[in-house]
A and B are shown apart, each in its own frame.
Chain A
Amino acid sequence: MSSGEKYVAAAYAVVFATVLVWVALIAVKLVRLERETAELAELARRPRAAQTADDG
């Protein structure tokens, strides 16, 4: 591989790596949002479950 080819590969690798890091960060955020949504859904269900138990 010539030095010119190495620089071209490096430049394209920078773009690829940046997009990859961004995708990874978004994936991490998505996992956190999914977990928080599940927690909130559980929290919203709790009072209703308690009320059903009281009625019964």
Chain B
Amino acid sequence: MALALALVFFVAPEDADQGISQKIFYFHVPLALTAYACFATAAWKALRLLWTGEERYDLESYTAVHQGTIYGAMTLLTGSIWAKASWGRWWVWSEDQLVLFLVLFLFYCAYFMLRFSLEPGPSRARISAVYALFGVALIPVSFLAIRLSKNFIHPVVFTRDGPQMTGTMFAAFCVAWAAVLLLAALMYRVELLGKRLDLHLRELREALGAS
């Protein structure tokens, strides 16, 4: 993370068009891609749950959705700040990319409402898994929206001709993305461990007959 910050602020040149505010890009885009990765992981775990019926995948899928929602919230907040700096507005409703990402984020927020409205058990695990699987269909739509959109306020950096930036900018972006992915993986592991420990303690408490 320190290396990524050093590359972003001391090595990567300032963008000729956007100036210093372009520095937000180096964490905003990796945060969005990491959120997609978390939701895709949640869908994969959900599929494994439906396929094998193993209970552990329910907790893994839930943790991945939780992580994805955190990263999604950070994407929306940093994106909104970048929008204000670049376009002079906090939010642009006519931008498909922005609205679709918000839809994706709200869809996964509703996952928690659904999950906590059901009694814990195999039925809740299956319903949550099906919901997480449906959500993953929104990822390619959200990702491709910028390319399908006719309104090009939102910048397109990665085109068919490759990344539209200098080599050092691209290197800083790659290091920042790796750092954010590593942070997400670490947060996922720690959160999953905490949740598993919580579950085992509850089972132990029941076995010991404690209130």
Contact = CB atoms under 8 A, between A and B. Distances in A.
Interface residues of A, number: 24
Nearest to A21: B70
B27 A12 contact: yes
A44 to B, nearest CB: 6
A10 B70 CA distance: 17
Given A8-B23, A11-B24, A37-B201, A3 B85 contact: yes
A40 interface: yes
Interface in B158-209: 183, 187, 190-191, 194, 197-198, 201, 204-205, 208
A28 B99 CA distance: 35
Interface stretch (B74-82, B103-111, B114-122): B74-82
Contacts of A2: 20
A29 B198 CA distance: 9
B82 A18 contact: no
B89 interface: no
Given A12-B27, A37-B201, A4 B74 contact: no
B204 A14 contact: no
Interface of B: 19-21, 23-24, 27-28, 31, 70, 73-74, 77-78, 81-82, 84-85, 183, 187, 190-191, 194, 197-198, 201, 204-205, 208, 210
16 contacts: A2-B20, A3-B85, A4-B19, A4-B85, A7-B81, A8-B21, A10-B81, A12-B24, A14-B81, A15-B31, A15-B74, A19-B183, A22-B70, A26-B190, A36-B205, A40-B201
Interface of A: 2-5, 7-8, 10-12, 14-15, 18-19, 22, 26, 29-30, 33, 36-37, 39-40, 43-44
A-B pairs, top 10 by smallest CB distance, nearest first, are A7-B85, A4-B20, A11-B81, A11-B24, A11-B78, A4-B21, A14-B77, A8-B23, A43-B208, A10-B81
